[in-house]
Chains A and B, each alone.
Chain A
Amino acid sequence: MSADDAPGGDGNDEAFEGDDTDGNRSGDANADDRDALLRVSRLEAGYETGQVLFGVDLAISRGELVSLLGRNGAGKSTTFRAIMGAAVPRVFGGEIDFAGTSLLGRRPDEIARSGLGFVPEDRRCFPRLTVAENVRLAINHAANPLSLDAVLSLFPELANMRGKEARNTSGGEQQMLAIARALATNPEMMLLDEPFEGLAPYVVRRIEDIVREINNERNITVLFVEQNAVAAMAVADRHYVLDEGRIVETVSTERLREDADLRQRYLGV
């Protein structure tokens, strides 16, 4: 795939600036922690086989780029699924607020339309729909979407394979497609579930660039799940460390980089 030789940051920046739908978003990145865009408090959730989350607390302000770190089985994906209102896990207690309204008890499609863009794990796309149709689907069901051309202009790799079925694209292209699809809904915040998992190193770098661009240029708040502390440190400014269903640490990238003991204890690196 040709992801790495595509036009770099500059070309994309122009595309970002050329799109005026950006204007309606407030750009204050340093909002007070008390009026966080996404606030999860004392979240308890689990499956039929048992409880997984025992009181997860997150508070993410507008404009932040935050990672949710943790080992396999720590409850990262469960947290995401609970936020997105999936049928499983069941939420036992706690609160999830997004932009001042509670998300609990709302249908997943309503949550998606309320300004939360979701990029599922394993870069899930609709395999028999084409690249363009995948994006158009999100556009057709969003409250205030971008245009197809505006979205694809940010992903030159995808722009010239609009008619290709998603199942015939490479892993990196599928990940970009999943991100493009979430971006097309013009969300206030994006949740990415393991966006760098299982990709070749140079593709990982491209996806990292994209995630940073989304945050910097579009002022979209980003929360992503990651197992690998190194990858998370390369992208995010702040990190939540999740262990056995609880948030055990909230650290800056510098702290995480210096504190080898912390990484060893909770992340095994």
Chain B
Amino acid sequence: MTDRPGRPDRPEADDSDRFGPSTDGGERTDEPAVSRTHEGGPAGSEPDVLSGRSRRLVSLIGRYRVPIGLIVLVLFLRPLVSQPWALGFGRIAATMLIWMLFVASFNLLFGFTGLLSFGHAMFFGFGTYGVAIAVSRFSLPFVAGAVVGITFASAFGYLLGRLIVNKGEIYFAMLTLAVAQAVYFVANRNPYELTGGSNGITGTVPPWIETYRGETTVVLGGLSVDWYWAVAAVFLICALGLWQVLRSPFGRSLIAIRENEALARAMGVDTERYKIASFTMSGALAAVAGALLAISDQGAALETLGVLTSGDAVLMAVLGGVNYFFGPLAGVFVWLFAEDYLTDFEVLYFPLREFVLVSVDLSGVLEYWRFLLGGLFVVIVLLSPKDGVWGFLRGLVTRVARVGERLGGGSRER
């Protein structure tokens, strides 16, 4: 996603609240481990000044902060990135949601089970190629391709998981990488003229998709909906499902395995079965994201299966913060935003374009945006490897809340 249609020039804006709206409302969202049982959080000091009714409301918001945060994210993501001072480019919002789903599925395995997969792109690719092959090669409906792709990814994940899930961390990472590379090379060889080799598959446009001037619309039985909202609906369903899974006893067992596998086993957890289940579920969710990508990109690209895609998933999750439900989502947002932002602008004006005092020509330097993002990544990992951007923001909110609490407490005493 390096060349995008032209966008209006954007003045240099204050970075600090750039992803305010996407995280807004999510300020109280945190990892599910804490969400259900949080008692003494920042909200804890409020109830004594509130009536019983609003206290119940506060606790309700606290309990359902993840769904609320997800809805806020879906509602505000597109308007935000469409702003001229942001990216001025609404179409990227659908891509962002798809990647968020993909990286969240990866993080189910990495952040919540403690298994590092370096080959998650294959599951993403199974979904993409499933849909692209079904629609473009066999003129089958999208749903058939998606079902085949997701089923294949689940079965593949289950069987592969049975083989490698107990081989130890390093070997698990290496084996997933090796298998993903094998899948990549098979797709590259274009077996039975199905995958299209290095050209991939193009022109995957089901009859219910209409594109006009780059805007993709879903037209179904007289109803016409923007593609973004179709993606958003699938994203919401999957993310809420993931949230439910994580707060269920099943998810708690996964977290126990992440925290201390030997101890979990000594407590009677059949860790192998749980890890296989997590791997399978994670693969299936990645394939769902992949199926959406096939429509968004109108085809399947070989790079989707490549090792860079797998690597990006790892980096995005770590950048965002693997211990949090919203961590990978924040990571995807920062990553894609930075990618798009940094590759685009060339001249930096201080303080503003209208009142220039100094201007710095950055063309050339920012060709190395991945390098800059890499630098940001290193800083974040060095500061706090598991917290990432999301953990940093949460820490900030907690600190601000504590200061506010102290101020509020002082005024109440008076």
- Report which A residues bind B (CB closer than 8 A): 84, 86-87, 107-109, 112-113, 118, 120, 124, 126-130, 132-133, 136-138, 140-142, 162-165, 181, 185
Contact = CB atoms under 8 A, between A and B. Distances in A.
B2 interface: no
Given A107-B270, A137-B253, A138-B267, 15 more contacts: A86-B266, A87-B262, A109-B270, A112-B268, A120-B266, A128-B255, A128-B259, A129-B259, A130-B33, A130-B34, A132-B37, A141-B253, A141-B267, A163-B37, A181-B267
Nearest to B323: A128
A137 B265 contact: no
Contact of B33 (A109, A124, A128): A128
B18 interface: no
Contact of A124 (B37, B263, B270, B323): B263
B37 A130 contact: yes
Contact of B252 (A137, A164, A181): A137
10 contacts: A86-B262, A126-B256, A127-B259, A129-B256, A133-B33, A133-B37, A137-B256, A138-B267, A140-B252, A141-B270
B33 to A, nearest CB: 5
Given A128-B255, A136-B252, A140-B249, A162 B37 contact: yes
B268 A109 contact: yes
B39 interface: yes
B16 interface: no
A170 to B, nearest CB: 16
Contacts of A126: 255-256, 259-260, 263-264
B249 A108 contact: no
B399 interface: no
Interface of B: 31, 33-34, 36-39, 249, 252-253, 255-256, 259-260, 262-271, 323
Chain B at the A interface: SS class: helix
B39 A185 contact: no
Nearest to B249: A140
A141 B263 contact: no
A41 B36 CA distance: 47
Contacts of A107: 265, 270
A165 B30 CA distance: 14
A187 to B, nearest CB: 10
A84 B39 CA distance: 36
B343 to A, nearest CB: 37
A145 B269 CA distance: 14
Contacts of B262: 86-87, 108
B44 to A, nearest CB: 11
B268 A165 contact: no
Contacts of B263: 120, 124, 126
A124 B270 CA distance: 19
B271 A109 contact: yes
